[in-house]
Structure 1
Amino acid sequence: MSIEIICREVSRIMRKYDEPDPWKLAEAMGIIVQVMPLGSSDKSCKGFFLRQSRKKHITINSDLPEPIQRIILAHEIGHAVLHHEAAKMKAFHDFALYDTSSQMEYEANLFAAEYLLEDDEVTELLSEDTFFFSVAKELEVPPELLDFKFRILKRKGWLIESPIQSNSNFLKHLSDRGEDT
Structure 2
Amino acid sequence: MDELINNLIKKHKTNCPFELASALGIHIRFMNLGTGTKGLYYRKLRRRFIVIHNELPVEWQRFVCAHELGHDRLHKGINRFFLEESSYFSPGKLERQANVFAVKLLSIGSNPEQEESCKSYYLRIGIPPEVQFLLEE
Report TM bin, short chain. Answer: 0.7 to 0.9
Among the aligned pairs, what percent are the same residue?
28
- Determine the C-alpha separation between the residues in 2 that align with 1:100 and 1:114: 21
Query: Match for 1:47: what amino acid?
Result: G
On the 8 A contact 1:14/1:20 being kept in 2, the answer is yes
Query: Match for 2:53: what amino acid?
Result: N
Unaligned runs of 5+ in 2: none
User: After the TM superposition, which residues 14-53 of structure 1 pair with which residues of structure 2 at under 5 Å, given as runs?
Assistant: 14-39=9-34, 41=35, 44-53=36-45
- Determine the C-alpha separation between the residues in 1 that align with 2:29 and 2:63: 15
Instruction: Determine which structure has the larger strand proportion and give its number.
Output: 2
The counterpart of 2:101, out of the listed 86, 111, 129, is 111
- Determine the C-alpha separation between the residues in 2 that align with 1:142 and 1:13: 23
- Determine the C-alpha separation between the residues in 1 that align with 2:43 and 2:130: 27
- Determine the C-alpha separation between the residues in 2 that align with 1:99 and 1:15: 34
- Which consecutive segments of 4 or more residues in structure 1 shift more than 3 A? 96-101, 143-148
Report the count of equivalent residues: 135
The counterpart of 2:124, out of the listed 132, 138, 144, is 138
Unaligned runs of 5+ in 1: 1-5, 152-164, 167-181
Which secondary structure does the structure 2 equivalent of 1:122 belong to?
A: coil
Could you give the per-residue CA deviations for residues 22-56 of structure 1, whole angstroms, max 9, x where no partner exists?
111111110011111123x3xx2110001122211
On the 8 A contact 1:37/1:62 being kept in 2, the answer is yes
The counterpart of 1:102, out of the listed 92, 105, 109, is 92
Which secondary structure does the structure 2 equivalent of 1:121 belong to?
A: coil
Q: 1:94 deviation in Å?
A: 1.0
Match of 1:171 in 2: none
- TM-score, structure 2 as length reference: 0.85
User: After the TM superposition, which residues 18-97 of structure 1 pair with which residues of structure 2 at under 5 Å, given as runs?
Assistant: 18-39=13-34, 41=35, 44-85=36-77, 87=78, 91-96=79-84
- Determine the C-alpha separation between the residues in 2 that align with 1:100 and 1:10: 25
Cα RMSD between the aligned structures?
2.1
Query: Match for 1:138: what amino acid?
Result: R
- TM-score, structure 1 as length reference: 0.66
Which secondary structure does the structure 1 equivalent of 2:51 belong to?
A: strand
116 and 136 in structure 1: CA distance in 2 versus 1, 3 angstrom threshold = same
- Determine the C-alpha separation between the residues in 2 that align with 1:28 and 1:121: 23
On the 8 A contact 2:30/2:53 being kept in 1, the answer is yes
Query: Match for 2:111: what amino acid?
Result: V
